[in-house]
Copies of this chain bind each other. A is one copy, B any other.
Amino acid sequence: MRLKDETKNQAIFDATIELIHEIGLSELSMSKIAKRAKLSSATIYVYYENKEDLLLKLYLDIKGKMGSSMLKDVHEGMSTKQHCYTFMRNALDFILHNQRWYLVLEQFSSSPLIDKLCIEDTAPLFAPLYRFVEDGQRSGQLKQVEASLLLSYCYFPVIQLAKSMFDHTEAVDEEQFNTVFALSWDAISQKTNE
C-alpha cells in the first residue's frame, strides 16, 4: 500500500526544504526534519528507506518540477528565438517563484553527494533544450558550438539576474529580462547578414 498519508509526505518534503535552506545540507538531520514536520523521526522511515533515499527523491522531485516548468508555453511551431526566449523566461519565473527550491538544487549540485546518489540521469528532463539547440543550428540561426556551452549563455545570466532580484525583492523587471535575453541571443546566434 503506497498511498499512506500524502499530507505527511508533503510535510516531510517541506520541512526538509526549509531546513536545507536555513541551515544547509551539512547541518540537516532526520530528527530536525521530524521536529519541523511535527512527526516522529521513525515516521520518516515509513515513507523513505533512509536519509539518502529521502534526499534523492527530494532532489529528483524538484529537478522534475523545474524541468517541466521550463517547457511551459513551448509550442511546436515556435521560432528558435521565441523558443530561447520562452526557456529563459520560464527559468527566471521558476527560480523567482521557487527561490528555496532553486537554492536547494544548487546545494545538491555542488556536493559530491549528488554523485554518490548515483542518480538516474536527469538529463532527459532537459532534452527539449538540447533539441531546440540542434534545430537552431540546423537552420543556421545558432552558432555551431557545443550545445551545453550555448545553453550556459542562456542559463547562468538568468540565474545571475534572478539572484539580484532575490536581494532587492523588486517585482520581475521586464526590461532587465529583455536586456539579458538580448545579450544571450547576441552570444549564441549566427550573425547572418554580415
Query: Which residues of A pack against B, CB within 8 Å?
Result: 21-28, 103, 106-107, 109-113, 143, 145-146, 148-150, 152-153, 155-157, 159-161, 164, 179-180, 183-184, 186-188, 191
- A110, B107: Cβ atoms under 8 Å? yes
- B110, A106: Cβ atoms under 8 Å? yes
- B153, A183: Cβ atoms under 8 Å? yes
Interface residue SS majority, chain A: helix
**Bound: A14/B155 CA distance, A:** 33
In the complex, 18 of the A-B residue pairs with CB atoms within 8 angstroms, ordered by the A residue number, are A22-B112, A24-B26, A24-B112, A25-B26, A26-B28, A27-B113, A103-B110, A106-B110, A107-B111, A146-B164, A148-B160, A149-B161, A149-B179, A153-B153, A183-B187, A183-B188, A186-B187, A186-B191
- A145, B179: Cβ atoms under 8 Å? yes
Minimal beta-carbon separation of A18 from chain B (angstroms):
11
**Bound: A160/B110 CA distance, A:** 13
Closest to A111 in B: B24
**Bound: A159/B146 CA distance, A:** 14
Closest to A109 in B: B110
**Bound: A103/B161 CA distance, A:** 23
- A157, B164: Cβ atoms under 8 Å? no
- B164, A112: Cβ atoms under 8 Å? no
Cβ–Cβ < 8 Å partners of A179 in chain B: 145, 149
**Bound: A187/B188 CA distance, A:** 8
Q: A28-B26, A111-B24 are in contact. Are A157 and B153 (CB under 8 A)?
A: yes
**Bound: A148/B109 CA distance, A:** 22
Cβ–Cβ < 8 Å partners of A160 in chain B: 148-149, 152, 156
Cβ–Cβ < 8 Å partners of A156 in chain B: 152, 155-157, 160
